């Protein structure tokens, strides 16, 4: 068995990671840290784990060496301790935003502060297997992925990979998100009485995840925007991309591009049905799964394409991709431990 530990296990990303690792056939969880819940059983914070583990939250200062170390802390912490962490484990997989961007200047531009460990940026591989599968096979350090960036990047992937987009037109990405995105601590607007029933466009421009779309998809920075709207749901993201295809591109071309991506990637599916209730990608049925469901519509009269990607923000947008990366890093079957199909109805 491969030994793994998690730093920052009381948050939503950490809890989801723990769930996955507890049922992973090759990994054995040694320690899970939490300062605020030190000494408590992990199932007291993550009640789904009751009767499945007797682990307690331990102190991050008492971490022992392991084969793989997962970092699931709030953004901005890992970069200050990465040298220490690297002494504990030969492989590190981060879930936060600390090592997602390859360029220190670009990081500063989007995060408004200097990076604390710029020399580490080039050592990390961006942790989305659909974009970096080959590199991940030989990586030691894997970054997290932004959940909104992931939905956006995967909605763009078939179009970008097949070279179908006309980047002289804007790429407008409308993202709808559930409340678990705000993290276990929540914020002023997280109170159920205020957050229930919302359609709240809380960020029109400038969301930090935009940087990952620019970096990974090579969309011109001045053309792309992510607009974030909170809706009444706990888990889930839907990215709806509006862009323009090159002249002459047809629906048939799109089918080909989307099917190609789905066939190359075990967790990508194309959802485009003519009948039934579930004709388009929807995040609700993805809760707990690692799937990214893609769909599209093209207005051939003017080249306007709408591309959709639905994911579970805590899975494909965080812990699920992290485990998928672990599988690739370790040379295990890519889907190991990520077999849950999701529920219907839900």
Catalytic residues: 147
| Binding status of residue 130 toward its own copies by CB under 8 A | no
Closest separation in Å from C-beta 283 to its own copies: 6
Closest separation in Å from C-beta 184 to its own copies: 7
Give the 3-state secondary structure of 91-153.
EEEECCCCCCCCCHHHHHHHHCCCCCCHHHHHHEECCCHHHHHHHHCCCCEECCCCHHHHHHH
| Binding status of residue 208 toward its own copies by CB under 8 A | no
Closest separation in Å from C-beta 146 to its own copies: 18
57/37 Cα distance (integer angstroms): 6
146/212 Cα distance (integer angstroms): 8
Closer CB to its own copies, residue 116 or residue 280?
A: 280
For its own copies, the binding residue among 169, 251, 260, 332 (CB under 8 A) is 169
For its own copies, the binding residue among 6, 72, 155, 285 (CB under 8 A) is 285
Closest separation in Å from C-beta 262 to its own copies: 8
Site string for its own copies, 259-278 (x = CB under 8 A): ----------x-x-x-xxxx
Enumerate residues 30-59 that contact its own copies by CB under 8 A.
Answer: 40, 44-52
Selection from 304, 273, 265, 269 nearest residue 283 by Cα: 269
Distances (CA, A) of 8 to 179, 260, 321: 20, 37, 17
Closer CB to its own copies, residue 10 or residue 58?
A: 10
| Binding status of residue 333 toward its own copies by CB under 8 A | no
Distances (CA, A) of 125 to 80, 100, 292, 312: 19, 8, 20, 22
Selection from 13, 273, 256 nearest residue 144 by Cα: 13
For its own copies, the binding residue among 102, 242, 246, 259 (CB under 8 A) is 242
């Amino acid at each position: 068995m491969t030994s793994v530990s998690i730093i920052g296990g009381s948050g939503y990303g950490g809890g989801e990671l723990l769930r996955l690792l507890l049922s992973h056939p090759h990994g054995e969880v040694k320690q899970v840290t939490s300062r605020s819940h030190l000494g408590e059983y992990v199932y007291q914070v993550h009640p789904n784990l009751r009767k499945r583990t007797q682990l307690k939250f331990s102190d991050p200062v008492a971490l022992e060496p392991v084969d793989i170390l997962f970092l699931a802390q709030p953004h901005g912490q890992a970069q200050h301790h990465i040298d220490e962490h690297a002494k504990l484990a030969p492989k590190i997989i981060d879930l936060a935003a600390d090592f997602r961007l390859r360029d220190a200047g670009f990081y500063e531009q989007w995060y408004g502060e200097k990076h604390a460990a710029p020399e580490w940026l080039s050592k990390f591989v961006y942790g989305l297997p659909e974009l970096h599968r080959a590199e991940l096979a030989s990586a030691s350090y894997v970054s997290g992925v932004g959940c909104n960036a992931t939905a956006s990047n995967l909605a763009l992937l078939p179009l970008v990979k097949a070279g179908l987009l006309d980047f002289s037109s804007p790429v407008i990405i409308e993202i709808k998100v559930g409340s678990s995105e705000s993290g276990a601590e929540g914020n002023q607007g997280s109170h159920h009485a205020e957050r229930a029933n919302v359609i709240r466009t809380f960020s029109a421009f400038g969301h930090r995840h935009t940087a990952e779309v620019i970096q990974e998809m090579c969309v011109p920075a001045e053309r792309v925007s992510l607009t974030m709207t909170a809706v009444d749901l706990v888990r889930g993201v839907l990215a709806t991309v509006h862009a323009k295809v090159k002249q002459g591109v047809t629906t048939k071309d799109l089918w080909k591009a989307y099917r190609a991506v789905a066939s190359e990637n075990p967790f990508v599916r194309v959802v485009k049905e003519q009948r039934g209730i579930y004709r388009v990608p929807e995040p609700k049925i993805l809760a707990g799964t690692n799937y990214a469901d893609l769909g599209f519509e093209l207005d051939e009269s003017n080249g306007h394409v709408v591309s959709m990607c639905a994911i579970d923000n805590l899975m494909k947008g965080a812990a699920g991709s992290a485990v998928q990366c672990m599988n690739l890093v370790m040379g295990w079957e890519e889907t190991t431990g990520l077999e849950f199909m999701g529920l219907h109805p839900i």
